[in-house]
Amino acid sequence: MSPNEWLAIGMIAAFFVLLIIGIPVAISIAVTAFVFGYLGFGPMLFNLLPSRIYGVVTNYTFMAIPLFVFMGVMLEKSKLAEELIDVIGHLFGGISGGMGVAIIFVGVLLGAATGIVGATIVTLGLLTLPTLLRRGYPKTLATGMICASGTLGQIIPPSLVLILLAEILGESVGTMFAAAMVPGLALAGIYIVAILVVAQLYPGMMPPIPAEERAQLSKKRLLYKVVTVVGPPVGLVFAVLGSIIGGIAAPTEAAAMGALGALVFVACSGRLTVSLLSEVAKATLVISAMVFFILISAQVFGLAFRGLGGEHLVARMFEWVPGGEVSALLFMLLLMFVLGFFLEWIEISYIALPLFLPFFVQMGVDMVWLGILVGLVLQTSFLTPPFGWSLFFLKGVAPKEVSTLDIYKGALPFIGLQFLAVALVFIFPSIATWLPNAIGW
């Protein structure tokens, strides 16, 4: 290997070392790229950097990121989740495993409305975990359902993961949203079926809500709450996604309408205050700044890695994998799964995926199908010990009798169910591609 290729390997190794010792992600990416790029080529390597950064900050599609974040934070801070849990819990509470089904449904709705994993899991953990334990649900099962439900927002659009994958893969955001709809809902369906099967096999494990407790909310009152509590966020999500997938509005325009719709919805509910608006604005700024800092740093990393010949190293690595395209794809997905034990999805997306992408482009792999497979695998990174963020979020709000080991054990079956979803999309690519093809994307 040439000296520059050794530098490319050293850059990857140094990046992981900085992460392990606790250096923030964006700084780790930028520092390793600047240092090793300069060692390889001096200042000449970065002549293209200003135009690359300019391309990120002026990208019209990326304007959707802070707008979707604003929509999600506004709905989350307005305590929407609390009412959703109460209403949907009563809808499904009469059957064995009904509370588990309700938690998955809430995860779908909050995932589509907010896409904020931490907020969903913290809310579900605070409001439902003590109740589930009191009703006799095993600690592992209760924590696993909550963690799995909270991660659905990473694959069900509108999702920041899908927006960034669309940019990396060179596909439109609308195409990725359309492609993720069926796999995302199918994953939620797999969770629900698994919960109901376990409830039938072990009836005492997930008992229904007692009839006298359900009777406290009349059918008329329940119907009213379904219309007023569940209806507005569902309508908002369908309007935003429908306008993007249907080609009526660009993602940025739809995101702007979603942000405005969330603002109007909260205002009509009487919860909009100056302090709430200030809190939402600050949270939106912090999250958006973090995402864009990493996006810009990733441009430096990609430029340095390619300049040092890293693409040729990756191509030779895939040549060692027997079995052609299928084996190479499985190898990449497995590597991303392993990286998910230690890294967040955004580092894997902007560091690992671009390294492998040229090989699959050359092989003629469908980028939409590839993107959904990657998105499903990235979702597992929120559940895999020891650094799965969903596990950390839930541990922070769990009762004292729930140990970290309980949460880890609870997540394992749902990781297996996520693998089932990945396998289905891998074997039947049309699960991801038929909707974009049907609507002409």
Using CB atoms within 10 Å of the CB of residue 198, give its burial: 0 to 12 exposed, 13 to 18 middle, 19+ buried: middle
> What's the pLDDT at 387?
63
Distance CA 228, CA 203 (A): 33
> What's the pLDDT at 81?
64
**What is the distance of C-alpha 357 from the center of its chain?**
20
- Tens of each residue's pLDDT in the chain, 441 residues: 677 778 888 887 888 788 777 777 678 878 888 888 888 877 776 677 787 788 777 877 778 778 877 887 787 677 766 677 777 777 776 778 888 888 888 888 777 776 666 667 777 787 778 878 887 888 999 899 988 988 888 888 877 788 888 888 888 888 898 899 999 999 999 999 999 999 888 877 888 777 666 666 667 777 877 787 777 777 877 787 777 777 777 778 888 888 888 888 888 878 888 888 898 898 888 878 877 887 788 778 777 877 777 666 666 666 666 666 788 888 888 888 877 776 667 777 777 788 788 878 888 889 999 999 999 998 888 888 766 778 877 887 788 888 888 888 899 999 999 999 999 999 999 999 988 888 765
Task: Please name the amino acid found at residue 150.
Answer: G
Peptide linkage before 210 cis (omega within 30 of 0): no
Please indicate, yes or no, whether the overall pTM of this predicted structure exceeds 0.85.
no
Half-sphere exposure of 233 (CA within 13 A, CB side): 29
- Max Cα–Cα distance, the chain, nearest Å: 75
Distance CA 336, CA 365 (A): 18
Distance CA 303, CA 333 (A): 24
Q: How far is CA 418 from CA 39, 80, 381, 387, 435, in A?
A: 42, 27, 11, 17, 21
> What's the pLDDT at 299?
76
